[in-house]
Amino acid sequence: MNPLKVGLLTLVAMASVVVMSLKITQNQSGFGKHIQYKTILEDASGIFEKTPIKVAGINAGKISKISLTGNKALINFEILEDIKVTQSAKLKIKSVGLLGDKFIDMDLGTQKGERLPENSIIITETGEGIDSLANDASKVLKDVKEITSTIKESLRDEQGKNYIKEIVENIKAVTISLRRITENNEEKVNKILDDIEALSSQLAYESDRHQKDSFMSDLTKIGPILEKVDNTVKDLNVIIADVKEGKGTVGKLLRDDAVVDQVSQTLSSVNRLVNRINNIEADIGLSTGANTKIGSDTRFDLDIYPAPERFFRLGVVTNEFGPQSETEYDTYTSSSSGSPTKETVRKVSKSDFKFNFQIGRRIQRWGLRAGLIESTGGVGLDYFVPDYGIRTGLELFDYQKSAGANLRLYTEIKLWNVLFTRLAGEDLISKDKSQSATISFGLRFTDQDLAALIGIFAR
């Protein structure tokens, strides 16, 4: 043979081998630029250098080095640069085939975010495959063994005797007894079965609503009863249809738009009223003390806030201040000379109970009110410091001709929780020098305090 032809044939064969090798390994990770990453495994059994790293079942890299760090295995592996590995990527060890060959599968995750830097550590999850199935099967067999041992132990008595033989003998004896009973009472058993069949036939006959035998009363038949039930259901269907069409009183109430609108308006009004009542706030104060001239001073005040900027004050006061009434009348007495003597008596009366009824308006921290102050007309000006529980102000009332108006300056200070003290200067511009001072202590509740108190006693 010509040596040239032999050489050419050899070159063609070698080229074919190279092409086939490239075809076979074109999806492998041996070609291209790679990026190095790391992972840590609790158990690296079955993992070796050059173990493939697969993405979606396709080789995308391989393990380059395995080393020991502490009691764990440090795996260095490389991944093709074309594959973007982000923070969400995870590794999982899997087995393939019955021989338990292992590979590492990479889940790239969402692909959102930046590529992980080179030599970053990627988390590896517990793998699946033949090893996992074997472990599960081992656990199942262990549980079955424990259950079997428990059953065997439960079938033994205290002396270790097995009950299985005794149970089998008892089942055999029961079977023989049943056989003997059925053989000796075969006619009775057949009669019972015949009676059951006759009863079933009778029930089917009675439930036939179309049979019209005259020798049985309608009261003993189920068929007529079912017909009456059908008629009742039909009547109900007619009534419901009439209601849906708006016929009759109930239908008009349910279908008439005017009635529905009126009901809706009524419910809306009720809801507005209820909301308005719920929004009302109250402030209740009860105090008692002493005045430097007139003695005791006790007062009860109720402030009602239907809106944050408006309020009403109702109250009762008992003290010696306030309007007084004078009555003059003549009396006659007999003298020793026999002529009557005229004497004019002047009686001064004053009511111990006086009432407050005022209408006020709140403007930020200021409050202005007018109305009855201790049963006489008057006005008041208040200033509130809610952060410190302080209320101060003045009241002008009881315009007497002889003494002038009563000017009262007061301050209420919250001492603790609901306890407060009240300091007041009374009749400060009096013409007859009736100035005095009052100090009182009392309790002041809000509606929330009362609701909590009622809840405690209601338990």
Domains defined for the chain, CATH in brackets: 3-132 (no CATH), 280-323+350-458 (2.40.128)
Residue 84 or residue 357, greater confidence? 357
Residues with Cβ within 8 Å of 269's Cβ and at least 6 positions away in sequence, in order, are none
Query: Taking phi first (over 0 means left), then psi (-120 to 50 degrees means alpha), and beta for anything else, what does residue 233 get?
Result: alpha
Beta strand 124-128 pairing with 90-96: parallel
Residue 233 or residue 334, greater confidence? 233
pLDDT tens digit string along 91-115?
Answer: 888 776 555 567 888 888 887 878 8
For the chain, report the end-to-end CA distance as a whole number of angstroms.
Answer: 118
Q: Angle at which helices 248-255 and 222-244 pack, to 10 degrees?
A: 40
Number of residues written out for the chain: 459
Mean pLDDT value across the chain: 78
pLDDT tens digit string along 384-428?
Answer: 998 888 999 999 988 776 777 889 999 999 998 889 999 999 888
pLDDT tens digit string along 20-40?
Answer: 655 544 444 455 688 888 888
What pLDDT score does 321 carry? 64
Residue 320: pLDDT over 80: no
What pLDDT score does 206 carry? 65
Q: pTM value?
A: 0.40
Residue 65: pLDDT over 80: yes
Q: Please report which confidence band the pLDDT of residue 334 belongs to, taking 50, 70 and 90 as the band edges.
A: low
Residue 86 or residue 10, greater confidence? 86
Q: Please report which confidence band the pLDDT of residue 215 belongs to, taking 50, 70 and 90 as the band edges.
A: very low
Q: Please report which confidence band the pLDDT of residue 441 belongs to, taking 50, 70 and 90 as the band edges.
A: very high
pLDDT tens digit string along 290-318?
Answer: 988 878 889 999 999 888 889 999 999 98
Q: What are the structure tokens assigned to 27, written together? A: 């999806």
What pLDDT score does 459 carry? 59
What pLDDT score does 214 carry? 46
Residue 329 or residue 268, greater confidence? 268
